[in-house]
C-alpha cells in the first residue's frame, strides 16, 4: 500500500482518534498532520510492519503527550455546571442541548486530567484496547496503565455526577450493572 492510499483510507479514523484524545478538533488536525509528515519520510519502513496503523496511532499518542511542551496552553472553561445551573430536560427524552452540554462537561473534565491519564482513558474506552496493548502504546507496564486509569476515573467520579459518566461511557455502564 502506498502512503497516499494509506492516508486516503485511514486519515478519517486517525483524525477521530486524535480528536477524542485531545478534545480539540483543530489541535487533533495539527497533531495528525505533524505525524503524517514524519510518517511520509519513513513510510518505506512503516509499511513493512505487521500493523502500520498501530505504529501511527502510537506516534499520534506520543505527539499528543509531548505536544509543544511549554509553548501552548490548554484552555479550560472557567465555569462548571453545578446542580442549580445544570440543564434540566422537561420532556421524558432529554433534549439535544442538554446532552451536548453534559458531553461538553465530560470533555472539559477529561481535559483537566494529566495527559497520560487522558491517553489511557481514550485508548481503553474509545479504542477498546486492553491494558497490555495500552502499555505497549505508552511504553510502560500494565500495572502503570491500571494505576493511571484508576486515578483518572476516581478524579472524574469526584468531579462528575456518576449517572452522567455512565451515560457517556458505555463500558462503564456495563461494569456497574
Domain segments of the chain as ranges: 3-65, 96-176
What Rg do the C-alpha atoms of the chain give, in angstroms? 18
* Whether pLDDT at 160 is above 60: no
Range in 41-55, 79-93, 149-163 the model is least confident about? 79-93
For the domain spanning 96-176, the CATH number is: 1.10.10.10
Q: What is the pLDDT of residues 25-73, one digit of tens each?
A: 888 898 899 999 999 888 888 888 888 888 899 889 888 888 755 444 4
Mean pLDDT of 93-109: 72
Residue written as cell 465530560?
A: 106
CA–CA dist 153, 151 (Å, integer): 6
Question: Residue 35 is placed in which grid cell?
Answer: 505525524
Amino acid at each position: 500500500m502506498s502512503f497516499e492510499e494509506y492516508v486516503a483510507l485511514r486519515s478519517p479514523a486517525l483524525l477521530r482518534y486524535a480528536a477524542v484524545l485531545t478534545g480539540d478538533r483543530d489541535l487533533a488536525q495539527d497533531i495528525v498532520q505533524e505525524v503524517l509528515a514524519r510518517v511520509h519520510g519513513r513510510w518505506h519502513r512503516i509499511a513493512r510492519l505487521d500493523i502500520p496503523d498501530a505504529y501511527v496511532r502510537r506516534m499520534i499518542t506520543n505527539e499528543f503527550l509531548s505536544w509543544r511542551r511549554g509553548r501552548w496552553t490548554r484552555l479550560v472553561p472557567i465555569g462548571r455546571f453545578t446542580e442549580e445551573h445544570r440543564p434540566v430536560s422537561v420532556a421524558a427524552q432529554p433534549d439535544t442541548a442538554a446532552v451536548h452540554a453534559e458531553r461538553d462537561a465530560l470533555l472539559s473534565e477529561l481535559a483537566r486530567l494529566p495527559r497520560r491519564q487522558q491517553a489511557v482513558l481514550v485508548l481503553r474506552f474509545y479504542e477498546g484496547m486492553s491494558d497490555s496493548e495500552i502499555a505497549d502504546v505508552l511504553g510502560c507496564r500494565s500495572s502503570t496503565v491500571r494505576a493511571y486509569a484508576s486515578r483518572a476515573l476516581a478524579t472524574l467520579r469526584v468531579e462528575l455526577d456518576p449517572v452522567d459518566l455512565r451515560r457517556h461511557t458505555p463500558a462503564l455502564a456495563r461494569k456497574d450493572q
